[in-house]
Every structure is written in structure tokens, then in C-alpha cells.
Chains A and B, each alone.
Chain A
Amino acid sequence: MSRGTCPDDLDDLLVGARRGTLSAGASRTLNDHLAACATCRLVNTIGRSVGPLPPVDDEDEAMALRLLSHAPRPAAKRAHRRAPTRLVAPWRWPRWAAAAVIVVVAGVSSAAIWTAHDRAIRSEVASTSTLNDALPRAKHAPVVPAALPVLPGPSVPATAPSTASSPAPSRVAMARPAAPPPPAVRATAPPPMVAAPEPEQLLRDANEARRARRTDDAVRAYRALQSAFPSSKEAVLSHLSLGNLELERGAFVAALAQFDAYLSSGGAELGEEALLGKAGALAALGRADEERAAWQTLQARYPRSEYLWRARQRLEALDRGGAP
């Protein structure tokens, strides 16, 4: 049994339901289980969300014929197509090279700017949360998105522009290499959250920053969301996201506060994840009794949780003396 009391053949039951091949008895079994298990309900919803697999249609057959005969593709499509695996088309080389030069120069000048204003930026970060005071200084340095492809020639500097919406500031920074920049020229600083965006936009920005490993930007955006729209669904979700982010970067007290905020905000649907994060933060802080309580709460509230194995593992470790 892989998932608590979920049947081993659950995945196949779900496939059978989508194919419409389940017997009445199997269908009843599945529905009874879905009514009782939130995780399996989510899995079922995902399966239904993507829609049924269609049979091979005329367009598939037409494409197959083209593939087999090497026939030219329709002109309308060819005009927009790009080779999927080629990173840089030959005719784009001059533009890429120019862009790379701009980025390199901007990066060098931005590094100087960043150094000069590191203290100011740190103050700004600290003002968003006193919990950040405990973070090591290096954590505030800008980070290169890990997934960037490597181009031939000069590498992308660590201070490359951070979002798609702000390419221009790099060029401005290149033109002003040494002088302390006015606020509008802070090319390497996080994108300003100036407008009053909707909560979903704030959450999207924060998530994008997190995925790009612009951790400070992400933290700021999550906190801005929580501050501006504290009761929104997005803000409730953000407690979990920010909690995980704080956990990743070792800010365990801050992480714990976020997980507790989620749990007390009525976001019960993802309580498993919140309890998992809370227990992890407590473990890192060495608060064994509270960690034990968190795991036990998870066991009691979510007897079919995917994380039960982890709870059992940690509780056994705590019984043995608390070794991680």
C-alpha cells in the first residue's frame, strides 16, 4: 500500500473512469474513495482537467503524411515556426552578440552600482521584515537564474536584468557606470512594485521571481501581497510559498511564522503541506516537542497523507533521541 488506505490500483481505476471502462462496482468503489480522500480527488480533477485523449484525427494523419513524404509544410505555419532545440538561429547572431555585449557592460557597471548601494538595499529589505536581519549578508547578493542556457562567448554576468519587462534599465546603467543612480536607474535592483496590482498578479510576480531564484524579489513580493491583500486567496497561498522559501534559505523562524499563518488563516486544503513545513522548521530550530506535536497533528488530521512516511520516520527518530 503506497498511500495510506488508498487502493493500490487507484491510478488504474482513475484511468478506467476516464476511459469509461469501469464496471459499476469499481465505479462505486472509486467514488466512495474520492469522497473521502482529498489527495485522490485532486488527482482525479487533474485527470479530468486535461480532457480525454482524442482519437487520431485528420490533422494527425495529414501531419503523418507530411512527415513520411517530407512534403513542405503549410506556408502560414512555416512563417512562425522555430526549430525547437536550436538556441540561436544563424541569422540572429549579430543581434545576440550585440545583446550579449550590452548585458556584459551593463553587468559590470551594475556590479559597481550594486556594491555602492548594497547597504541601502539591505536596509530596504530589512524594513520589510525584521526576521531578515538574521540572514547572512551574502544572501542579499543578486543571483543568476540557474536555468539560463550557456552561450558561446562572454558569459552572462550575475547582474543580468532580472525580468522581461525591464530590458531598458540595463542600457541606462551602461551609460551611467559610476554615479549613484537615482531610483529610476536601479537597473539591478528588484523590479519596483509601484502600481497597485491585483493579488493574482502579485502572486504571479512572486512565483516567477522564486522560480528564477531571485529570492529577495520573491520574498518582497510575497510580503507585499500579504500586506496589501491579507485576506485574499492568493495571500493565504503565499504563506505556504513564502514559508517554503524561508525554509530553503535557512530563515527558520520566519518560515515557521508563515506556516502558522497559513494554518490559522483557514487554508485547510493544503494543511498537510503547511504542517510538513512547520515540522521541518521546528526540527531545524531544535524544538523537538513542538515538532513531535506537528507530526502528530498531521497524522491525526490527514490519515491518508502522502507525508505519513515522513511523519513516522521523524517520530521514530525523535523517540530515539531527536537525531535528524
Chain B
Amino acid sequence: VGIPVTRLAPFDGGAETDQLRSLVASAKGGDRAAIRALLKTVAPVVARAARRVMGRDNPDAEDVAQQALAAFVDGLPTFREESTVVHFAERIAVYRAMTARRDGRVRQRFVALVDDEDETASVPASGPTLDGALAERDRRELLLEALETLPPPQAEALALHFLFDHTIREIAGMIEVPVETVRSRLRLGRAALRASIVNDARLAALLEEGP
């Protein structure tokens, strides 16, 4: 029995239903039916998070989502319930997806260095082009590329903030750190992101836009 939150709004207010809390308690105790019900509840949100970070049509998103669900089950015993269980699962998915993107970037660089022609052909020849009117999708991709260059804690906080519209308090609950820590990571991350934008002409157009 899953909780019908598959049409979850961008933000559900953070209030967990009693039913979901009791499921979490049972799942922590090893109740397989409860774990199954929780998985049914969080799987669509995990899928959305993986596709949001990896790209909607990226075939690797499904692998990432699968890994995230496995990590979600593994992490349940240590879940401190400082956020909703849905947010807990979403955070795991975001973290996994960001890691996969970073690994993939390293792998692509290496493949480009040593592999043969048909392999390099599978690597995108170029990213989004410099254009004053970059498509929203391209901009998201460029910003994700920039996030990959940041320290993971900052990148994670910025991703949860920019890509998933979470408030500072929500992020603090999701990653189980104090609010001030999140504030600090966002502040440092913003400064680093700004520096990245400085070095990327494709993103520099952002600097010239109005409020």
C-alpha cells in the first residue's frame, strides 16, 4: 500500500502524514511490506529528481534512480526524520545523480583522450552554443556543468536550492545539518558559481540580464 503522492506538487509543505510516519517506523524495524509501500511512495519523486539532474531523456537516469532507491532502503535505519521521508529520498537521488554526472564527465574526458574514433563519436561534440537566447534546457545543462566543478557539499546545496526550489530550512532537514551550515554552503557556492560564470562566456550572458 503506497501513499498517493505521485502527483506531488513542487513542494508539499513539509508535513508528513501520520500514515507515512508509521510506515517509516515500521520500515526501520525491517517490515518488508512497509519498505515496499515507502518505495512505491518515493519512487516517482526519485525518478523526477534523477531526470531533473541527469537530463530528462538521459538513459542513465534510470540507473541512477535505481541506485538511489537502493541507497534509500540502506539509509532508512539512520534516517533522523528531520525532513519528510520524500525529501530524504529526493536528496539521496540528487546526490547520486550529481555524483554520476561528475563520474561521467571524468570518464568522457578519458575516453576522448585515448579511445578510437567511433567511441569519441558517442561523446557530444560540443555543448550548448554561445547564444544570447540560450534555451532553458541548455542553461540548466551549463549550470549543472558549473556545479560539477564545486565542492560536493556546496554543489548539493545549490542544486537543492536552484533545481528543486527548497528553502534553507528544508535543505537543512534533508541533509541533516544546521541551518547556518546550509546558509554558509549556499553563500560559498554562490561565490564559486559566480567565479565559474566569469570563466564561461556561454554563461556570461546571465550577468547582463535584468531582475
Contact = CB atoms under 8 A, between A and B. Distances in A.
A199 B130 CA distance: 11
A173 to B, nearest CB: 14
Interface in B187-201: 187, 190-191, 193-195, 197-201
Nearest to B114: A99
Contact of B10 (A19, A66, A149, A306): A19
A66 B62 contact: yes
Interface residues on B, range: 35 or more
B48 A149 contact: no
Contact of B190 (A43, A50, A99, A234): A43
A19 B14 CA distance: 14
A306 B130 CA distance: 28
A19 B123 contact: no
Contacts of A83: 60, 63
A57 B48 CA distance: 8
Task: Tell me the dominant secondary structure on chain B's binding face.
Answer: helix
B120 A164 contact: yes
B41 to A, nearest CB: 10
A171 to B, nearest CB: 11
A107 B211 CA distance: 52
A203 B211 CA distance: 27
Given A67-B69, A73-B62, A54 B48 contact: yes
A211 B127 CA distance: 16
A130 B65 CA distance: 53
A300 to B, nearest CB: 20
Interface in A246-268: none
A56 B7 contact: yes
B60 A241 contact: no
Contacts of B9: 55
Nearest to A160: B113
Contacts of B123: 164
A77 interface: yes
Interface string B46-75: 111001100010011111111101000000
A90 interface: no
Interface of A: 2-3, 8, 11-12, 15, 18-19, 31, 34-35, 39, 41-47, 49-57, 59-61, 63-68, 73, 77-78, 80-85, 87, 95-96, 99-100, 102-103, 145, 147-149, 156, 160-161, 163-164, 167, 199-200, 203-204, 207, 210-212, 233-234, 237, 240-241, 269-270, 273, 306-307
Interface of B: 6-11, 39-40, 43-48, 51-52, 56, 59-67, 69, 99-100, 103-104, 106-107, 109-110, 112-117, 119-120, 123, 130, 136-137, 139-140, 143, 149, 161-169, 183-184, 186-187, 190-191, 193-195, 197-202, 204, 206-211
